[in-house]
Amino acid sequence: MVDDTNHDHWRAPAISDAFEKPARSVFRRPGFWASAVLLMLILSVLPIGMTRQAGPVARRTQSKANLRQIGLALWNYHDQFDMFPAGTVPAADLSVEQRFSWALSMGPFMDQPQLLKERSKAGWQDPEHAAVNDQPLPVYRNPEQRLERSFGSSGDHAGIVGIGTAAAELTEGHPRVDVFGFNRCSTMDSITDGTANTLMIATSVMPNRSMFAGGRETMRGFSRQPYLNGPDGIGAVAGSSAVQVLLADGSVHALSPAADSRLIEALATKAAGDQVADPS
């Protein structure tokens, strides 16, 4: 069990801590090897470039593989720090929209150590960060997305913050919050509904400006119905029939845009007492 008294849920670890803190063995986590082997097999037969001319089935398979890879990185982060990353990298003088997002915190766990050199306190749109903003991040892209992108680092995924317009700002322990929040850090113990019943990441209908952009670009809640393909921008891209989602247990599922609102509300809260038998 994680001792929550040792953690400040309103302060994420420094990005450099990923290298300074002794690494834990993630290989002891149940199911790690099965997930890792499956991911490697998928990636070996479906390289990123292949999806450019591949059919819809191959693009959908690659989309799921990308989500699994993001899930593994998030789990590795938790194994290192006993918490998932906050939605934005702390920077007291910047608004959440100006800060770097949780994607920067994932750099060391996504084989992107060069991101550690970025001065997060300057804000993601600072001119000195032009190079990193133009850097393509294929794992954060949905191969089914065909719309134009503002930056090379534009992506098609959002961390789920919960239910309601202010879900990203609610404090830890509120029944309407999910894993992500502007400043919140979640632990495994805080997901009392069960990891298989809790959303972490979902695809967005349109590309965001950059995966490094803090605020609503990379974190979304469900504020009004319809929850999927509705005003919050979470849903299936044009021409596809399913919303790809990553659950907190690392599994990837396809949700119909017409999924019952009660199902979405149950999945988008981590401690409201909801149990979902089958989210697929």
Per-residue pLDDT of 94-105, as tens digits, reads 999 999 999 999
Per-residue CA distances from 264 to 6, 129, 144, 191 (Å) = 32, 36, 22, 16
The percent of residues in the chain predicted with pLDDT above 70, rounded, is 78
User: pLDDT per residue over 144-180, tens digit each?
Assistant: 999 999 999 999 999 999 999 999 999 999 999 999 9
**In the structure, what pLDDT confidence band is assigned to residue 188 with cuts at 50, 70 and 90?**
very high
**In the structure, what pLDDT confidence band is assigned to residue 278 with cuts at 50, 70 and 90?**
low
User: pLDDT per residue over 90-142, tens digit each?
Assistant: 998 999 999 999 999 998 898 776 665 667 889 999 999 998 899 899 999 99
The yes-or-no verdict on residue 48 having pLDDT over 80 is no
| Interatomic CA distance for residues 73 and 110, integer angstroms | 6
pTM: 0.82
Higher per-residue confidence, 273 vs 23: 273
The whole-number pLDDT of residue 42 equals 47
**In the structure, what pLDDT confidence band is assigned to residue 46 with cuts at 50, 70 and 90?**
very low
User: pLDDT per residue over 254-271, tens digit each?
Assistant: 999 999 999 999 999 999
Domain spans in the chain, listed from the N-terminal domain onward: 29-267
Residues 6+ apart with CB under 8 A from 63: 142, 143, 144, 203, 244
Residue 68 main-chain phi, psi, to 5 deg: -65, -40
What's the chain's average pLDDT? 84
Please give the DSSP secondary-structure letter assigned to residue 123: -
Q: Taken in order 3, 100, 24, 30, is the CA torsion positive or negative?
A: positive
**Cα–Cα–Cα angle for 205, 104, 44, nearest 5°?**
70
The whole-number pLDDT of residue 120 equals 82
Instruction: Give the three-class secondary structure for 64.
Output: helix
Counting DSSP H helices and E strands in the chain, the numbers are 6, 5
| Interatomic CA distance for residues 270 and 280, integer angstroms | 18
Report which secondary-structure segment, H or E, holds 17.
helix 17-20
| Interatomic CA distance for residues 253 and 203, integer angstroms | 11
What is the arithmetic mean of pLDDT over 227-234? 97
The yes-or-no verdict on residue 60 having pLDDT over 80 is yes
Structure tokens at 74: 């998030």
